[in-house]
Structure 1
């Protein structure tokens, strides 16, 4: 038997020197060392069961590493120190320096023992030395408070791609409660935009992930805790079955495509798994082409003239109907994007969704609308600078995309537009949305004889994609649906400020299919829930109270007819809530 002894540091419990001894015995090499006042034996199975000079030298290195950890971690309790020491002995020899550095960083920062054990466990389980070094660099950022680490010693850090810069590796750290390397971790990185930030140029960062988030919420309960490396086709089928049937085949196809796209990202650039378990044909086909609804000129004019709808919303709708920009492109427009040149103005759109910068001229009516809109904002006390959004929301920032389509439908209903097709959702049709204002612009422009190139200069459409709008444009021309009202005169507040006579909208003719009750597609979520509870979930006592209240109201109105006009007046004065 041979052994090598060393003395480096003292034991904090008794003040005695910490003695480490690397020995070769019948079962192979082992280390004997005092941890928190108790003699501990740690085996080194990686060195084999044959005594050689090379293995002895390697045993000395492990002994030195364990002794260093015992000295620097002497303030830790034995229950935490011993597992860490055994983790060090299990490390590949090439990762001892990385483990020592990470331990010193985390210990100096006062991180909990659970995180110390987790980082060492991650270095052990890392698929290669590059990933181990990335975990060490990540521990530096965690010590500075710039990243979070899961405090679970059973988890590894093999979710850090080899060779990734530490600043980008920190972006991939899961939040508290998220299991690393799982589909939930992948979805979290994608929906937060951190995945695109970690791999710029390889993953496109979207302006917002609202539609992706609303779709994935149906499948995350089934997939969140499934490791990407262990996800199978059966998991995919289980996720598809969790999607409500009421959403229709088109929406199911969109969600399935998103799941498969995320797993492609797990293959590359994340390299969490070697292949995507979901083949291309797994995504359900949907041959259903949804019917989209666009506003008629009279309906759009009615919306713009309704003064109970916030002015910022009406100006935004007027712009979208007459310029056809995407929401995200309109949201990027600032005061400096407009250059006034007499009665005309030029719009400069430097950054677009399709990376195709565009510039075009506004007609005199729209130029006056924008000029008056900026003047109206100044009169309201708003301080405009070149970076101020051209279309702010109610809070003053960029107009929010959340519930934007819903708010437009609510405004249409408030203005008195009740055409059923605008509010009906089925497997073959979709209610009116904000993007349909872009379709209104394309259809109207083609119907009025504008060349497709003139339209694409503003919208960014390819000439081939413009064919989609030619059929509704021909129908528009045949039926003679009329012209869009001049934007400056259609909005009463701006017309008055510009010294022009407001143009009142033409009364909408009654149609047999007009709705008489506000539909769910024009209600906020909490209003829909309240209506369902009132209709289906009210208990007997609640029904009795409502019945008594109705009887009492009936008696009041019957015995006091003079109150009826007052009650009707109050009900008619209820304001539209945004």
Structure 2
């Protein structure tokens, strides 16, 4: 019996010498939000935010729910794997909370961990896909993913539920449950992108990997795109305000300016290396890109001048063109949210850029392409 299992076996009562029994806890008001702190043996005493609780009575009621779920996870020896699910249980209501309970039931029954020798889990196969191993094994049928970090970011929202499940036992219910637990703030387009990654991985598991007989997700499972919403873009005067703002780090202004003037995809620009740019002739050559077709084009004269000045500032050994203050590749995590924050800091306050309604999306980093197209149309009229 492992140390964690021994702790779990003692969970219902208070162990001698311990101040609190495993699974017990307390609530506390921090600022304007109630929190719950639980004693979870070797998992420590983590604090969980209770965003839906408005009173101490509601917070204590949710504490009882968390204590019950934590006690079951401890007894099953699954507390480490179940921690993300406890975080969901602390923050969800209604059907979403019910889905968390079902996921914990599955985990405690061993359905998400126990597997026969040789069975591949969803997480293990996803890493084979994202690392390029599957493309090396089946070069005629699988293309290597060049933006693997983006795909890992999307999968991070569902790996708590899907990751430990063996592919041969993964069902439509698993996938539906994972989607139901997605953060409520995600836009429909983001939810669709996550669903597309799940669907693609299971399709590859069926063929060419042949780890499952068929994709368990039916046709039409991936949410439809919401192309009817209006998208945002910057006016020329707003672009000038952004470029001149001393409140925005220079690295981001160079990056945004390049996107707006060249129309390149944000993730492609983030991976652009100096070896892809000919500053003498003012051109970009991309042999590998999202379209899988080599592309080359002449840069705008003002972009060439800006890149030459930027190159003179950058470290000699810097490979990527657009990097942050600490050498991290741009746009990094939450690029769209940071873009909107930078617009506000620059003094751009047009309401429709920051509002999401039934008819409109707030401006995203990808909408720099729309700004590029709009600016060109205006220029050639």
Instruction: Place the TM-score, normalised by the shorter chain, in its bin.
Output: 0.5 to 0.7
Q: Does the alignment pair 1:283 with 2:222?
A: yes
Q: 1:327, 1:182 → 2: CA distance? A: 32
Change (3 A) 1:204 1:293: same
Whole-angstrom distance in 2 between the partners of 1:334 and 1:287: 33
* 8 Å CA contact 2:263, 2:372 repeated in 1: yes
Deviations 1:99-157 (A, max 9, x none): xxxxxxxxxxxxxxxxxxxxxxxxxxxxxxxxxxxxxxxxxxxxxxxxxxxxx997412
Q: Is the 8 A contact 1:348 1:358 kept in 2?
A: yes
Aligned match of 1:349 in 270, 286, 293?
Answer: 286
Please name the residue that 2:249 is paired with: 310
1:258-292 CA-to-partner distances (Å, cap 9, x unmatched) read 22221111112221111122221333435553322
SS at match of 2:220: helix
Classify 1:281/1:412 alpha carbon distance in 2 versus 1 (closer, same or farther; 3 Å). Answer: closer
Aligned equivalent of 1:372, options 294, 306, 309 = 309
Deviation of 1:295 after TM superposition, in Å, equals 1.0
| Rounded Cα–Cα distance in structure 1 between residues aligned with 2:302 and 2:289 | 25
Correspondence for 2:339 among 405, 408, 411: 408
| Partner Cα separation in structure 2 for residue 370 and residue 257 of structure 1 | 36
Label 1:232 to 1:403 Cα distance change in 2 as closer, same or farther (>3 A). closer
Alignment of 1:543-558 (within 5 A): none
1:257 counterpart = 2:222: no
Three-state SS of the structure 2 residue aligned to 1:448 is: helix
Map 1:169-184 → 2, pairs under 5 A: 180-184=119-123
Change (3 A) 1:187 1:352: closer
Matches of 1:153 and 1:217, distance apart in 2: 21
With structure 1 as the length reference, what TM-score do the two structures score?
A: 0.42
- In 1, are the aligned partners of 2:248 and 2:342 still within 8 Å (CA)? yes
Query: Is residue 383 from structure 1 mapped to residue 344 from structure 2 by the alignment?
Result: no
Separation of aligned partners in 2, 1:191 and 1:197: 11
Does the 8 A contact of 2:243 with 2:253 survive in 1? yes
CA distance in 1, matches of 2:201, 2:208: 11
Gaps of 5+ in 2: 1-112
Task: Report the number of matched residues.
Answer: 269
Distance in 1 of aligned mates of 2:242 and 2:333: 20
The whole-number CA distance in structure 2 between the counterparts of 1:254 and 1:390 is 27
**2:272 maps to 1:333:** yes
Q: How does 1:476-515 map to 2 (within 5 A)?
A: none
Contact 2:115 2:166 in 1 (8 A): no
CA shift digits 1:428-470 (9 cap, x unpaired): 4332222211221122112322xxxxxxxxxxxxxxxxxxxxx
Q: C-alpha deviations, 1:454-496, integer Å up to 9, x for none? A: xxxxxxxxxxxxxxxxxxxxxxx6xxxxxxxxxxxxxxxxxxx
Shift of 1:305: 0.6
Offset at 1:215?
3.8
Larger of the two Rg values belongs to structure: 1
Matching residue of 1:443: 374
